[in-house]
Amino acid sequence: MQFTKAEEYGILGVLYLAEKEQRVITPLSEISEAKVIPEKFLAKIFQSLSRSGIVRSHRGVRGGFTLAKAPEEITIKEVLEAIQGPYHLLKCVKQSELCDPDKFCALRELLIIAERRLVAVFEGHSLADLVKWQQAGAVLS
């Protein structure tokens, strides 16, 4: 499994916002420059994040973005799903009708287990966790 560029850039973008004071409006151009992300691509990603209630868009000359909630309240799962939708490691995990219902599939069962664990990790960590790790330069258990 590998993150798409949109997922990677989305996480980096909201992490940048999470490192700032919550009420500070940050221009998209600043995020783009700081994280070396193409601004037009980042704008599309942030549209999805805005529609999902993760970031708030502020219009005008001094416009930009803020987090819509505290970093502690935003899980990594929420960010990823706002960008790409629900996580599934195999199409038949999501759409069981793609498999023969009369046949057992060990691969499907393994991927269901892996998917549950992966989603649990994403649900179990917030943007605040990533900020702490970033500031410490390490993962804090």
User: What pLDDT score was predicted for residue 103?
Assistant: 77
Quickly state the pLDDT bin for 89 (edges 50, 70, 90).
Answer: confident
pLDDT per position as a tens digit, 48-65 = 999 999 999 999 888 999
Task: Spell out the domain ranges in the chain.
Answer: 5-136
Cα angle for residues 69, 34, 5 (degrees, 5° grid): 75
Three-state DSSP state, 27: coil
Say which residue the tokens 């939708």 belong to: 85
pLDDT at residue 94 in the model: 64
pLDDT of 111 reads 84
Average pLDDT, the chain: 89
Who wins on pLDDT, 105 or 26?
26
CATH of domain 5-136: 1.10.10.10
pLDDT recorded at residue 102: 72
Better-scored residue on pLDDT, 95 or 24: 24
* Residue 60 Rama label (left phi>0; alpha psi -120 to 50; beta): left
| Cβ atoms 10, 83 nearer than 8 A | yes
pLDDT on residue 141: 60
Say how many C-beta atoms besides its own lie within 10 A of residue 109's C-beta.
11
Give the pLDDT score at 62.
86
What is the reported pLDDT for 137?
85
Q: List the one residue out of 18, 46, 19 whose CA is nearest residue 32.
A: 46
Tell me, what's the pLDDT at 39? 96
Q: What is the pLDDT of residues 104-116, one digit of tens each?
A: 788 888 888 998 9
- Mean per-residue pLDDT for 88-106? 71
**Calpha distance 45→83 (Å, rounded):** 7
3-state helix, strand, coil in the chain (%, to 5): 60, 10, 35
Tokens of 107: 């691969």
